[in-house]
Structure 1
Amino acid sequence: MALSRRSTLSGAALGVLLLAGAGLATALPAAADPPAPVAAGGQPVASIIVGYKPGSAKARDLASAAKDATAKAHGRALSAERRLATGGVVVGLGSKDARDAAAVIAAYKADPDVDYVEADQMMHPLADPTDTDYAQQWDLFEATAGMNVPGAWATSTGAGVTVAVIDTGYVAHSDVAGNIVAGYDFITSSSAARDGNGRDNNPADEGDWVATAGECGTDANGNPVPSKPEDSSWHGTHVAGTIAAVTNNAKGIAGIAYNAKVQPVRVLGKCGGATSDIADAITWASGGTVAGVPANPTPAKVINMSLGGSGACSVTYQNAINAAVARGTTVVVAAGNSNVDVSGFNPANCNNVITVAASDRAGNRAFYSNFGAKIDITAPGGEVRLETDAPGSRTTPADGIYSTLNGGLTTPGAESYKTYMGTSMAAPHVAGLVALIAAKTTLTPAQIETAIKNNARALPGTCTGGCGSGLADATATLLAVVPAPGKYFENLTDVAIPDNTTVESSIVVSGVTGNAPTTLKVGVDIKHTYRGDLIVSLVAPDGSVYLLEDFVNSDSTANVAKTYTVNASSEVANGTWKLRVQDVASQDTGKIDAWNLTF
């Protein structure tokens, strides 16, 4: 008999977004009394994010929030622009005067209905591009300080995994195109996006060039931001190539997870990108709901964010990241390129992320890489310095990270390859490794992070200040988490789970001697909006049923990502095993995403 129940909706934490200028904005924790908010590069805050306490009218109704903004304006042109997926309200300041921003933030902080308020800061690509064109991928295979990737390819190439690259978007490149899936453009500002509109379903990189000094505003001292014109970086395309460039196609480079898919999610445009846009991008990329944006047809199991700004981790970021991780998405973030403790840079200092520092070709911490206790792991980021940049410390272009790019100085031109250096280049190495793991296991994001850390090797060079668990090692990690061939079986075919139905997914086991073990491992990855509808069982080849878990009336959360241990020693191992899922209620549906057996 079908059950009747009303889905329980968890109270979303009210996220606060802050829009700072072109530099790296300083996050403003609610408990602090902030100075005039400006970006680390000096650009003033243009909007803020306000989170109202649950139960207040302003938390429920955007119109009430708009009236509240008007009341706090004191002659300033404030506007409640929209509500974020994380619950916060973006409030435009109508001014780029840092003193105005500080006064408005203080007014909100004095309101007992306000849970938090923070700047909607601008994020920027974390790379230092060079002008070389050497096609050397030492970062994948060199024994000294490469990431030991080729040995992992015998186990996994990332098939079936989508990696969201939250960045500048994607400019067409024939060495990546075969692995691109539909993404989205989350840049709200049409001028920053350069596409004539706001958010849309076209994540094409329109270029992040800045034509004149000061085009992004001025800093607190009146200095122009930027200090000089800048060409387009095509940053997201470089990151995408490292993760999943098409391989074995007789051209270009090899991607780390070369059978994975890349989902370009555009958040960085002219002068950077707003925290509010990036937070919504995290939500959407991981399969969450963002108002006014169509559902993501291919939610990502991995998110790469090679971007950042200064200051503490904002409530907005943490809310979005926590929700993404709860959906089963691993979030990888670049540590930053300021050669200081990463604790002062977000979102690298947020919880529930894998924060990546950069190493050079000799295995030292790269001269620019941030460091500290919040670093989880280090990966190749490269080093390219001219004699004029660092006398006595010259490196060659081949010592950078070589990947896909575009030759256009402003708008897209001919496709190309180029070496960049930066923690932006290190992070996609780890995102690619996560994709290799996710393709062959049902490990949670926390378990994936632990596996990468536990199987890292010591940096062959030096690291001052803290480089996490060491240098990521792809082969060692894959060998540790994926069972030996012949004893591991999986089914990656999606099986829909409609309301009030029972469905099954099969695995044919062969080549195993005797009966199943007393510790048969059953890995289950089910995507479902309310797992309290579900009863999950394992069916042996002879029809015997082993109950794995009955979630009905005991669990109101989403998804099932667990490994169960079953004593199946009475069962002959070889034959057809089935995962049976019963949905016993209405309203919420899902799918068997993947499952596996380890003998």
Structure 2
Amino acid sequence: MSVRANRRRTHRIHVLAAATALVLGSAGSAFAAERINLAALANETQDEFIVKYRDGSAQRSSAASLQSALSTAATGFSGKGKALGLKHLRRTALGSDLVRAGRKLDRVEAEALMRQIAADPNVEYVEPNARMYPLGTPNDTRFGEQWGYTDADAGINATTAWDISTGTGVVVAVIDTGITNHSDLNANILPGYDFVSDATAARDGNGRDSNPADEGDWFNAGECGRTYDSPSSWHGTHVAGTVAAVTNNAKGVAGTAYNAKVVPVRVLAKCGGSLADIADAITWASGGTVSGVPANANPAEVINMSLGGSGTCGSTYQAAIDGAVSRGTTVVVAAGNNNGNASNARPANCNNVITVGAVDSAGARSVWSSTQKSNYGAVVDIAAPGSNILSTLNAGSTTPGAESYASYGGTSMATPHVAGVVALLQAASATPKTPAQIETILKNTARAFPQTPDQPIGVGIVNAKAALDSLGGGTPGAQTYTNGTDYTINDNATVDSPITVSGRTGNAPSNASVSVTIYHTYKGDLKVDLVAPDGSIYNLHNRTGSSTDNVIGTYTVNLSSEPLNGTWKLRVNDNAAQDTGRIDTWSVTF
């Protein structure tokens, strides 16, 4: 039974159509390009692709039809005059199919093959089985303290937060390189899984299995497209230590949520890890079903992904993440370390994730070298300590050796600080918060940057104590009032959803809580206000966001000047044509 099986709950997530291609794609090659994730093609050679056939198609139900479709695509492919075969490897947990070409293809050839596959009107999408890599930037310098918990300028205020919550009962899945034996970590590790399907890269000789042990991700010059040697990073062990290293044991380091438990999920090995493996890992870690893999006995309330690669999010990543979120799992991801806009890095640019940038002890955007700095941009939600972060590690240069400690830097190191704070919040909540509610809490309670970052890296620095304090929710004897009736949001129109409060005395508090669930095909069209009984307006959302990015969240509002009694309204204004939706439910607590 899950550590928190009695606390997990499902919540409604309605996923609306996001691309015209999904509606009109049957028109054939005219729309084929819209179903191909060309932006995900790297300059490296590619031989594996993820193909999703439409529900109800023969390819989904018949292995023979599937192979026939692949053979047709391979026959129609023209690349450097060489014949090509396409082999079906397996079906992923998302219903898509992983296929492999008979040889490595360069970027031009890969694009040509993807277009040939997408010419089949039954293809919903096709994208490369791209590789993701650890985002940490190793730093050999060891520090004797973990500044990120207590630093006056940029710390997360962990020590004061621990008076309220230490993460007891919460499960955090660390999707990474796996785990090594470490006495300062072992007591908080639950059974995990190895999703690396390539036995050679996995270095365990058998591909996927129930042992998430990190066998090392070292490589030599000439391998993995690199011109240099690289030792094993033991990246997953370092990340897991920041989440939940054993604490108050008179040794080593402390974890952000040191009474939480970690499920290690191995997806990265030699030369990184594949998108198909990572998507299955996300599904399994959050309690979903993956064919051929035993069910996860401890579904995670939080997933930490300190990994990434370039390109648009793509259908495979987004479907896996949406599935996890629909199961109540908050997905926390690294922004990346390339000193670029995180909108070009995935999964940082996916919807429904909390994307984390990195700061140093001065509160400035982290810099690790002339080319390696925290990624930035509008998709970054929040920042956390990511420079000189001391955590658990292993001393082996290739294969595992003795346990050790070391300081690393990267958004990989910032991300587990945030995942740990999410665990603190879930442990302290009377009922589990939805991923959208968690994101709203983190943003509303973030501490201000001590200096304005040179590039945007979120609304501020994650603040564990303030986030936990926000759970107090209003005044003693607070009550929640809800309107669950659907109200249609028409084009270029305004709609009110009312709640009447009576029998109360006095004014509303300064920290009233307003929870909103609105489904709409274009969030950027909407202005959402809370209207007090006297007509005063408190803005909650003002025409930001994009397609299928629904307005789902909890807002803290200062209503101290407003009497409690009267009719309160949630007012939604749509200022454009084409897109519609509905107010699904909303509530106010005071």
TM-score of the superposition, structure 1-length normalised? Answer: 0.71
Equivalent residue for 1:96? 104
Distance 2:281 2:472 in 1: 31
Deviations 1:163-189 (A, max 9, x none): 000000001111000000000000000
Give the AA of the match of 1:77.
G
Equivalent residue for 1:87? 95
Q: CA deviation at 1:87?
A: 1.1
Q: Is the 8 A contact 2:36 2:127 kept in 1?
A: no
Q: Secondary structure at the match of 1:379?
A: strand
Distance 1:302 1:88 in 2: 25
Q: Is the 8 A contact 2:234 2:393 kept in 1?
A: yes
Q: CA deviation at 1:487?
A: 8.3
Distance 2:438 2:206 in 1: 38
| Pairing 1:136–2:145 present | yes
Q: For residues 37 and 355 of structure 1, do their structure 2 counterparts lie closer, same or farther at Cα, with a shift above 3 Å needed?
A: closer
Distance 1:287 1:562 in 2: 23
Distance 2:477 2:406 in 1: 42
Q: CA deviation at 1:462?
A: 3.1
Deviations 1:269-295 (A, max 9, x none): 000000000000000000000000000
Equivalent residue for 2:469? 479
The size of the alignment, in residue pairs, is: 454
Distance 2:421 2:457 in 1: 18
Deviations 1:42-100 (A, max 9, x none): 42222000111222111233442222212222321211111111111101123222143
Equivalent residue for 2:324? 324
Distance 2:170 2:391 in 1: 21
Trace 1:241-260 onto structure 2 (pairs within 5 A): 241-260=241-260
Identity of counterpart residues, as a percentage?
56
| Pairing 1:64–2:65 present | yes
Note the residue ranges of structure 1 that are not aligned, 5 or more in a row: 1-9, 15-28, 217-224, 383-399, 489-518, 522-560, 564-597
Distance 2:397 2:474 in 1: 49
Deviations 1:503-532 (A, max 9, x none): xxxxxxxxxxxxxxxx9x9xxxxxxxxxxx
**Pairing partner for 1:411 from 399, 416, 419:** 399
Q: For residues 289 and 37 of structure 1, do their structure 2 counterparts lie closer, same or farther at Cα, with a shift above 3 Å needed?
A: closer
Q: Is the 8 A contact 2:358 2:411 kept in 1?
A: yes
Distance 1:364 1:380 in 2: 10
Trace 1:231-310 onto structure 2 (pairs within 5 A): 231-310=231-310
Equivalent residue for 1:507? none
Equivalent residue for 1:541? none
Give the AA of the match of 1:159.
T
Q: CA deviation at 1:482?
A: 4.2
Trace 1:136-215 onto structure 2 (pairs within 5 A): 136-210=145-219, 212-215=220-223
Distance 1:340 1:94 in 2: 35
**Pairing partner for 1:440 from 416, 419, 428:** 428
Distance 1:183 1:13 in 2: 33
Q: CA deviation at 1:562?
A: 12
Trace 1:9-88 onto structure 2 (pairs within 5 A): 31=34, 38-39=41-42, 42-74=43-75, 75-88=83-96
| Pairing 1:381–2:381 present | no
Q: Is the 8 A contact 2:40 2:130 kept in 1?
A: no
Q: Is the 8 A contact 1:443 1:562 kept in 2?
A: no
**Pairing partner for 1:428 from 413, 416, 422:** 416
Q: Secondary structure at the match of 2:284?
A: helix
**Pairing partner for 1:120 from 129, 134, 137:** 129
Distance 2:476 2:398 in 1: 52
Deviations 1:189-224 (A, max 9, x none): 0001000001100000000000x22222xxxxxxxx
Distance 1:126 1:475 in 2: 27
Q: Is the 8 A contact 1:204 1:266 kept in 2?
A: yes
Give the AA of the match of 1:256.
T
Trace 1:503-518 onto structure 2 (pairs within 5 A): none
Q: Is the 8 A contact 1:243 1:258 kept in 2?
A: yes
TM-score of the superposition, structure 2-length normalised? Answer: 0.72
The structure with the largest helix share of the pair is 2
Q: Secondary structure at the match of 2:34?
A: coil
Give the AA of the match of 1:199.
R
Distance 1:311 1:413 in 2: 35
Once structures 1 and 2 are overlaid, which stretch shifts more, 418-427 or 109-118? 109-118
Q: Secondary structure at the match of 1:73?
A: helix
Q: Secondary structure at the match of 1:175?
A: coil
Distance 2:275 2:553 in 1: 32
Q: CA deviation at 1:38?
A: 4.7
Q: Secondary structure at the match of 1:402?
A: strand
Q: For residues 96 and 562 of structure 1, do their structure 2 counterparts lie closer, same or farther at Cα, with a shift above 3 Å needed?
A: closer
Once structures 1 and 2 are overlaid, which stretch shifts more, 352-361 or 132-141? 132-141
Equivalent residue for 2:515? none
- Across the aligned residues of Structure 1 and Structure 2, the Cα RMSD in angstroms comes to 3.3
Trace 1:440-479 onto structure 2 (pairs within 5 A): 440-441=428-429, 442-479=432-469
